[in-house]
């Protein structure tokens, strides 16, 4: 499949301090691509740069969607091209109802009957939202708000959905549910770009993994291969390898003699 999104050597800074340095990657159409890394690595900055949410950034490099440049375009223009964004922390409007949020997600569309049909599709995907149709978003649980944020993004009928930390603040059971839904959305033809600290879950559903440290990619590859990489196992999946276990035992013995 061809690349739907191509990021070439972008650099982004805040207050003269570079957060992203020479980052390049591509997202193949129909795939799930996961960007992993610790807090402060620059993961969210990449997504915000793609979405045009940081003024006058990227400072260098280019971003193309379906072969057309989108860097330095307004966020509204980027959304209209078919890129939906689910921000970190959900960012729902507390005094709008579930139904109003879904209508807001379809603001670029001019097909009322299609919008109505897609609301029902969102309710099929998230039955709990149908039960909360006229409930204010501020009264929903964290998991329900995340479902609403994803449902709102789906109302665009996006070709690419970008999700920033969808598991943040959710229970392990809800995390599994949300990731199963992300996989289902992908199976229906939506390309996914995902930023996530839960490396195990992200690598379990993604096609490609990109590991970011201090604004640069330090490891990239097929997700199934990264899950077997000893460094990824130790530092991102929390799995102690034989080598690291032996090193720890040596450290314990040395400490005991001090």
pLDDT confidence of residue 257: 45
Closest CA to 43 of 141, 133, 140, 168: 168
The rounded mean pLDDT for the chain is 91
Q: What is the pLDDT of residue 241?
A: 57
pLDDT digits 0-9 by tens, 72-95? 999 999 999 999 999 998 899 999
> What would the pLDDT profile of 196-215 be if each residue is shown by its tens digit?
988 999 999 999 999 999 99
**Mean pLDDT of all residues in 103-120:** 96
The proportion of the chain whose per-residue pLDDT surpasses 90, expressed as a percent, equals: 79
pLDDT of residue 237: 82
Report residue 243's pLDDT band, with 50, 70 and 90 as the boundaries.
low
Q: What is the 3 state secondary structure string of the chain? A: CCEEEEEEEEEEEECCEEEEEEEEEEEECCCEEEEECCCCCCHHHHHHHHCCCCCCCCCEEEEEECCEECCCCCHHHHHHCCEEEECCCCCCCCCCEHHHHHHHHCCCCCCHHHHHHHHHHHHHHCHHHHHCCCCEHHHCCHHHHHHHHHHHHHCCCCCEEEEECCCCCCCHHHHHHHHHHHHHHHHCCCEEEEECCCHHHHHHHCCEEEEEECCEEEEEEEHHHHCCCHHHHHHCCCCCCHHHHHHHHHHHHHHHHC
Q: Quick count: other Cβ atoms within 10 Å of Cβ 228?
A: 9
Give tens-digit pLDDT for 5-48. Answer: 999 999 999 887 889 999 999 999 999 999 998 888 999 999 99
pLDDT confidence band for 256 (50 / 70 / 90): very low
Q: Hey, which residues does 195 pair with through a beta bridge?
A: 35, 164
Identify which has the larger pLDDT, 242 or 225: 225
CA angle 22, 27, 32 (to 5 degrees): 125
Q: What pLDDT is attached to residue 252?
A: 40
Res 246: pLDDT = 54
- Domain 3-95+159-227 CATH (choose: 3.40.50.2000, 3.40.50.300, 3.40.718.10, 3.10.20.340): 3.40.50.300
| Residue 32 CB contacts under 8 Å (≥ 6 apart), including other chains | 182, 183, 186, 191, 192, 194, 205, 206, 207, 208
- Which pLDDT value is given to residue 19? 92
Give me the pLDDT at residue 17, please.
85
């Amino acid at each position: 499949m061809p690349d739907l999104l191509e990021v070439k050597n972008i650099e982004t800074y805040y207050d003269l301090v570079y957060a992203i340095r020479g980052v390049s990657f591509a997202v193949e159409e129909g795939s799930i691509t996961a960007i992993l890394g610790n807090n402060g690595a620059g993961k969210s900055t990449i997504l915000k740069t793609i979405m045009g949410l940081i003024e006058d950034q990227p400072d260098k490099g280019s971003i193309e969607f379906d072969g057309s440049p989108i860097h330095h375009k307004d966020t509204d223009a980027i959304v209209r091209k078919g890129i939906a964004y689910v921000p970190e922390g959900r960012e729902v409007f507390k005094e709008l109802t579930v139904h109003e949020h879904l209508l807001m997600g379809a603001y670029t569309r001019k097909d009322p009957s299609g919008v109505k049909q897609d609301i029902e599709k969102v309710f099929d995907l998230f039955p709990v939202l149908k039960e909360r149709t006229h409930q204010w978003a501020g009264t929903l649980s964290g998991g329900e708000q995340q479902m609403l944020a994803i449902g709102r993004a789906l109302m665009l009928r996006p070709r690419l959905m970008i999700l920033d930390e969808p598991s943040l603040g959710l229970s392990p059971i809800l995390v599994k549910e949300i990731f199963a839904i992300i996989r289902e959305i992908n199976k229906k033809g939506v390309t996914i770009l995902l930023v996530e600290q839960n490396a195990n879950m992200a690598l379990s559903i993604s096609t490609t993994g990109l590991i970011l440290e201090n604004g640069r990619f330090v490891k990239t590859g097929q997700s199934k291969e990264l899950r077997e990489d000893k460094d990824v196992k130790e530092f991102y999946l929390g799995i102690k390898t034989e080598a690291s276990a032996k090193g720890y035992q040596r450290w314990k013995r040395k400490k005991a003699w001090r």
